Structure 1
Amino acid sequence: METRLDAKSLPLYLDTAATTRIAPEVLAAMVEQLENPRTFANPSSSAHAQGQAAAAVVAGARAEVAAEFGCDPDEVIFTAGATEANNLALRGLALAHAEQGRHLITSRIEHHAVLACCESLERDGFEVSYLPPDRWGRIPPEAVEAAIRPDTLLISLMHTNNETGVLQPIEDVAALAAEHGVLLHVDAAQAAGKLRIRLDETPIDLLSISAHKFHGPKGIGCLIVRNRRQLRLRPLMYGGGQEFGLRPGTLPTHQIVGLSAALTLAASRRGCDLTHVAQLKRHFIQSLATRLKIQIHGHPEQASPYILNLSLDGIGSDALINQLAGVLAIASGSACSSGTIEPSHVLRSMGIEGADLYGAVRISFDRAHSLEDIATAVDNIVAAARRLQELS
């Protein structure tokens, strides 16, 4: 029988950009939903009381998500996560509106869920402009405007980069897109819950989120489709017609409850969490920089406090991560591409090459970390770096 490891015996986890630990309050809400004899039924089974009760739970969760983002409840489409939401947004929109335009704009620093989807659309005859970032990792709004053509259908730009934490100028790009009559999709996987996003203030047409990035369960996310009744999408799958015909399959009520509970919790403590995590990141950088030569990759100010990307002078990322494996969990880039031998496409697009590119590691924080954790992490990184320097 497998035994559970004591948390104290595990490496200190600083890879929260890959996934976060589910919040106890969220887990409790999900378990309550799973155990409730009144609401366990299929939400689509409207002929009996249990199905109606389950549908009411889903409706309540949908309303909570809508309230957080400033949209209508029926504009929230539940998916398996941001990857599916990104695909539904890009392919669903492009294939449904190809007669209106076959040109899309995105950036070279997007998550692979967007980049691979764009590549598939190119194979289907669409044209895609991939914009490079500036040296700080931001996409200049003027570059977006310059790329717009008469046949441009959609701009897809992430809110917060998953490797560097750099914040993109979404409000400026949204204004440009609206001015030119072009639709805007935003991958907000690294921002939702942590940062304030209001679709009633910023004209974003499609927004993707994933619950496990803000202390919710894996396997659930959503795509918000503004003006859904007018903005037609082609579904990726076909079946029972759930989610307004856009996403068939029995709705996982407990996971949907987990998403809404995690989002509501994150929103309720957003201000204090941002202050706390910003302090952690600042202290980490200051402490490490006094003991080792480091190079931070990304904008010094326009960046999420939750994510830090850096390289240590003369230290390769794989060697450092291996040295730290027993005491500290960090990453060399996106969790969806880690383990590959290819260097970060994000950093390379920023013009980073050589030792800085191959030495880059991502360290990501969350509200559960303490200053003591930061001190422990810095001590371990310094010790590992010095061991590697002695070996070289």
Structure 2
Amino acid sequence: MNYPIYLDYNATTPCLEEVVETMLPWFGQHFGNASSKSHPYGWVAEEAVEAAREHIANLIGAKSKELIFTSGATEAINLAIKGIFEYYHPEHQHYITCQTEHKAVLDTFKSLEKKGTEVTYLPVNQYGEISVEELEASIKPYTKMIALMWANNETGLIHPMDQVKKIAEKHHLILLTDAVQAAGKIPIDVNGVHLMAISAHKMYGPKGVGVLYIRHNHPLPKPLPLIEGGGHEKGFRSGTLNVPGIVGMGKAAEIAGRKMMSESLRTEKLREQLEQGILMIPGTSLNGSPASRLPHVSNIAFEGVEGEELLRKINKFVAVSSGSACSSISPKPSHVLTAMGLASELGRSSIRFSLGMNTSEQDILNCIEHVQKVMQELRG
């Protein structure tokens, strides 16, 4: 198949060849169950899992024993939020999050609201930024958690996590962060964080595996398990471990740690080139903060064109999206852009470009040329 240029790395990334090669023996030659404690097949698999756990821990500044493997970030987020809710149940509880969070967070909180939980959804300004003063003012005597993503998946905005950490610490609150888009792209660490979700397939690892960091040696509680049946992963998440996937995630984390800084500089330079070319088109504007954002993400609004037609024509030659991969089939405008105050029409005609390791300067030049051509066609 003749694929278009891929500029949708926030939706998913390709498995690096080195990652695939590292995974392959664990499908056949080393097929043991990591929970089989009585023979070498299990021992070897368990050693591989623990080595991967160490690589991932190094990437985020954690201890390996604090990482719980899951099927992905959505499960990790559900475990974090619902597990804390169950810990405090039947107390009346209050949680603080943000209107621009990923649906994995927002939908989970919506389900808890049906059970009587109180949730504050912080608004954002035109750049997608929260007010840390408003965050602190929202805290109540029965607040249990602040849930705030490290970096936004649609605009790339990076939240002021250092300030948020201080607020959580000051008020003795659990801090959960969805660090899916940040991990492996920018330096992050778990200092001051109690729960952190990351995913392998956003950093050149396989789909179907993720991690929940759970802070140890702290008086604040840990989540109760949602999946039981064998006590795997220290009792937090039962089920046979996906050894090939975990090995792949470990390798991806190791590579990300080595390449993060150089790749960040490279993609930021390409993104600037992309924006210079596209923002020359009349009626285009950048969505989000031009300063505090991930180096590889650009979200651009195209005025005066119909959103679905724009996306369809651009995707013939350049694979991009109008928002989160989990919501991209919806004709509705992105909830992130709506929260930032964009009109519905402009929200629907906004496109997220996200660059990655395979993006070349020629890809960017070809993308600019194609977008310019599409806009000329649509505007007659």
Deviations 1:238-285 (A, max 9, x none): 111111111111101110011111011011011100000100110001
Tell me, yes or no, if the aligned pair for 1:64 and 1:264 is still in contact at 8 Å. yes
Residue 6 of structure 2 corresponds to 13
Taking the aligned partners of 1:184 and 1:347, their CA distance within structure 2 comes to 25
- AA at the equivalent of 2:256: A
Deviations 1:62-81 (A, max 9, x none): 11111222222111000011
**Per-residue deviation at 1:101?**
5.5
Kindly indicate whether residue 295 of structure 2 is the aligned counterpart of residue 305 of structure 1. Answer: yes
Taking the aligned partners of 1:322 and 1:213, their CA distance within structure 2 comes to 24
Residue 35 of structure 1 corresponds to 28
Taking the aligned partners of 2:227 and 2:179, their CA distance within structure 1 comes to 23
Please say which of residues 207-216 and 317-326 is displaced more in the overlay. Answer: 317-326
Alignment RMSD:
1.4
Tell me, yes or no, if the aligned pair for 2:333 and 2:344 is still in contact at 8 Å. no
Distance 1:45 1:62, change over 3 A: same
Distance 1:245 1:289, change over 3 A: same
Distance 1:70 1:188, change over 3 A: same
Task: Give 1:1-392 correspondences, 5 Å limit.
Answer: 5=1, 9-36=2-29, 39-98=30-89, 102-199=93-190, 202-227=191-216, 231-390=221-380
Distance 1:383 1:214, change over 3 A: same
- AA at the equivalent of 1:111: H
TM-score (norm 1): 0.94
- AA at the equivalent of 2:192: P
Taking the aligned partners of 1:228 and 1:117, their CA distance within structure 2 comes to 27
Tell me, yes or no, if the aligned pair for 1:79 and 1:221 is still in contact at 8 Å. yes
Tell me, yes or no, if the aligned pair for 2:125 and 2:340 is still in contact at 8 Å. yes
Taking the aligned partners of 1:325 and 1:69, their CA distance within structure 2 comes to 34
Taking the aligned partners of 1:60 and 1:100, their CA distance within structure 2 comes to 40
Tell me, yes or no, if the aligned pair for 1:100 and 1:153 is still in contact at 8 Å. no
**Per-residue deviation at 1:232?**
2.8
Taking the aligned partners of 2:67 and 2:350, their CA distance within structure 1 comes to 37
- AA at the equivalent of 1:206: L
Please say which of residues 248-257 and 97-106 is displaced more in the overlay. Answer: 97-106
Q: Which runs of 5+ in 1 are unaligned?
A: none
Query: What is the count of residue pairs matched by the alignment?
Result: 379
Taking the aligned partners of 1:92 and 1:376, their CA distance within structure 2 comes to 47
SS at match of 1:35: coil
Taking the aligned partners of 1:280 and 1:237, their CA distance within structure 2 comes to 43
Taking the aligned partners of 1:26 and 1:139, their CA distance within structure 2 comes to 37
Distance 1:208 1:16, change over 3 A: same
Q: Which runs of 5+ in 2 are unaligned?
A: none
